[in-house]
Amino acid sequence: MNKDQVSGRVEEAKGKLKEAAGKVVGSEKLKAEGQVDQAAGKVQKTYGDTKEQIKDAVRNEIDKP
């Protein structure tokens, strides 16, 4: 797991909390910020996942006899 995967998941979780807080207090702005944070986290997580898959594929090619 790389730092982009971890950061993305943290950002996603933070966004979910913000969105829930926005719903509870009735703040559309906070709710929207949470949704944006979730989307940004998802993008970063996907980027990290892709980096990891590429790294694994390269390793597998190098390790082939």
65, pLDDT greater than 80? no
Task: Collect all residues with Cβ–Cβ distance below 8 Å to 2 and sequence separation of at least 6.
Answer: 48, 51, 52
Instruction: Please give the residue range of the domain that contains residue 50.
Output: 3-63
Task: Collect all residues with Cβ–Cβ distance below 8 Å to 22 and sequence separation of at least 6.
Answer: 28, 29, 30, 31, 32, 33, 34
What is the per-residue pLDDT for 21? 98
What is the per-residue pLDDT for 36? 98
64 band by pLDDT with thresholds 50, 70 and 90: confident
Calculate the CA dihedral of residues 42, 44, 45, 51 and round it to 10 degrees. 140
Q: Sign of the C-alpha dihedral, residues 37, 38, 39, 40? A: positive
Domain count, the chain: 1
Give the tens place of pLDDT for each residue, 28-59: 999 999 999 999 999 999 999 999 999 999 99
pTM for this structure? Answer: 0.84
